[in-house]
A = this chain, B = another copy of it.
Amino acid sequence: MNAEIIAVGSELLLGQIANTNAQFISKQLAEIGVNVFYHTVVGDNGTRLKKAIETAQQRANLIIFTGGLGPTKDDLTKETIAEVLGKQLVIHQGALDSIEDYFRQTNRVMTPNNRKQALVLEGSTVLFNHYGMAPGMALKIDDIHYMLLPGPPKEMQPMFQKFGQAYIKKQLGKTERIESRVLRFFGIGESQLETEIEDLLDRQSNPTIAPLAGDGEVTLRLTAKHSSLEEAMKMLDEAEKEIQRRVGEYFYGYDDTSLYAELAETLKEKKLTIASAESLTGGLFSERLTSIPGAGSITRGGIVSYHTDVKEHCLGVSHDTLHDYGAVSHQCAKEMAENVRKLCGSDIGISFTGVAGPKIQEGKEVGTVFMGIAIEDCPTEVFHLQLSGDRQSIRTKTVKYGCHYLLRLLHV
C-alpha cells in the first residue's frame, strides 16, 4: 500500500498555516509500515482539486484528504470526490443528530449550512468526530482507498488515531510488524547525545535510530521491523539497553509522555502534593501541570508573584531578602518555595524567579534563573540556571528544568 496525502485549503497556499496535518498522518503511517510517496496541497477550488485527485489516482492506492469538510461554500472536498467517483452524498443521521446536539448544548442557533456537514459519500464508513461537527469517512473504489478527514488538527488527529489508523490496518491484513519506541531525554544537547552514540547511529539499520531535537529536549525514535512482534520488541530492548547504558542519566520517559506527565505520575504514585510560586514563568508550571487530567489530587495551586509587592505581601518573602539580594536571587527562590508550600498546605513547594527578558533586571542578565524546591522535612534545594533563547523559550526551559530536578530529587 502506498499513500498520498492531499490537503485542501487556500490558507495553506497563502502560507497562513503549515501543513502539519500531512506531517502528523505521515508519522502515523510510517509506524504501521505504509509508505507515503507524495504530499499535495491544493486550494479551495473544484477544478484544481479534481485534477489533484486524478493525478493521485495514478500513483497511490491510499489517498487521504484533510480539510474542506466544513459548513461553508468553499468547503468542497466531499462534493468534488463524489463527482470524480460518480457517487452521491447522503445525510448521515448519526452525524446530523450530533450536530443538532452540539447546537442545543451550547445554546447556539444552528444555521442551515451546518446541515451540509452531515452529508457523507454513499457506501462509506463514517469516522466519528468527537471534537467537532464534520464527520470523516473512508471508502474503497477500484482498488483505491479514499479517506476524508477534517482540517482542524484538534479534530483530525484524534479521528485518525482512533478510527483512521484502525481502518487502514484492517485493509493491510497481516504484514511485517513495525514497532517503534521513542526515548525522551532532557538536560543533554542534541550534538552531545549524538556524539555519545555516534557509532550506533553510523551502523544502524534494523532497528533504525532517529534523533530529533526541540524545545530543550532530545528524542530518539527506535524502529524495528520483524514478522514476529516478540522479535521486534526484543530488538528494541537490546538497542535501548545500549543507549541507556551511555546516556540513561538524561532519560526521562517513553513515547508521548512529557516531563509534566512524568512529574504528575510520580507525585501521584508517592501520594505527594505540590504548590508553585512563579515569577518569570507567570503561571506556566502550574498551567502545564493542571493541563493533565486528574491533576486535582496532586496540585494545590500556587501564587504567581510577578510583582515584587506580591512576593512580599502575598507570599511573605521578607523585605530584607528583597532589599538585600533582590527578587532574582538564591535567597528569594528559597523563601518563595518554602512559603508557598506552607501557605498552600502542600508536601512540596517549587519556585521560579529570574529574568525572561527582553531587558536585564536588577543588573542580572537575561536567562538568569533561580529555582527552589522545598520538601517537608528536607533541606530546601536551590538551583541556579543560565539559559539562552527568547522570552518564551527561557520560560519553557525554566519549568522543564523544574520538572527535571524535582524528578531527580523524588527518585533518589
A residues with CB within 8 A of B: 10-20, 22-30, 35-43, 45, 48, 51-52, 55, 59, 70-73, 102, 105-109, 111, 113-114, 131, 152, 154, 189-192, 194-195, 201-202, 210-214, 221, 275-276, 278-279, 281-287, 289-291, 293, 295-296, 299-307, 309-310, 313-314, 343-345, 357-358, 386-393, 395
Q: Determine the distance from Cα of A52 to Cα of B71 in the docked complex, in whole angstroms.
A: 33
Q: Is the CB–CB distance between B299 and A303 below 8 Å?
A: no
Q: Determine the distance from Cα of A106 to Cα of B15 in the docked complex, in whole angstroms.
A: 36
Q: Determine the distance from Cα of A71 to Cα of B218 in the docked complex, in whole angstroms.
A: 14
Q: Is the CB–CB distance between B392 and A291 below 8 Å?
A: yes
Q: How far is the CB of A309 from chain B (nearest CB, A)?
A: 6
Q: Determine the distance from Cα of A55 to Cα of B108 in the docked complex, in whole angstroms.
A: 46
Q: Determine the distance from Cα of A113 to Cα of B287 in the docked complex, in whole angstroms.
A: 37
Q: Is the CB–CB distance between A30 and B42 below 8 Å?
A: no
Q: Is the CB–CB distance between B14 and A39 below 8 Å?
A: no
For A107, A276, A290, A392, the residue with the greatest tally of chain B CB atoms inside 10 Å of its CB is A290
9 new A-B contacts at CB < 8 Å, known A111-B195, A293-B357: A12-B39, A14-B26, A16-B212, A73-B202, A111-B192, A131-B389, A283-B290, A296-B307, A309-B344
Q: How far is the CB of A191 from chain B (nearest CB, A)?
A: 5
Q: How far is the CB of A271 from chain B (nearest CB, A)?
A: 15
Q: Is the CB–CB distance between A210 and B11 below 8 Å?
A: yes
For A111, list chain B residues within 8 Å (CB).
Answer: 191-192, 195
Q: With CB as the reference atom, state the residue of chain B lying closest to A153.
A: B214
Q: Determine the distance from Cα of A30 to Cα of B201 in the docked complex, in whole angstroms.
A: 40
| Residue among B289, B307, B388 making CB contact with A299, cutoff 8 Å | B307
Q: Can you give 21 A-B contacts (C-beta < 8 A)?
A: A12-B39, A14-B30, A38-B42, A38-B52, A55-B55, A71-B194, A72-B191, A106-B387, A106-B388, A108-B192, A113-B195, A154-B389, A154-B390, A275-B310, A281-B290, A283-B286, A283-B302, A287-B287, A299-B307, A302-B304, A313-B345
For A393, list chain B residues within 8 Å (CB).
Answer: 131, 154
Q: How far is the CB of A129 from chain B (nearest CB, A)?
A: 12
Q: Is the CB–CB distance between B10 and A30 below 8 Å?
A: no
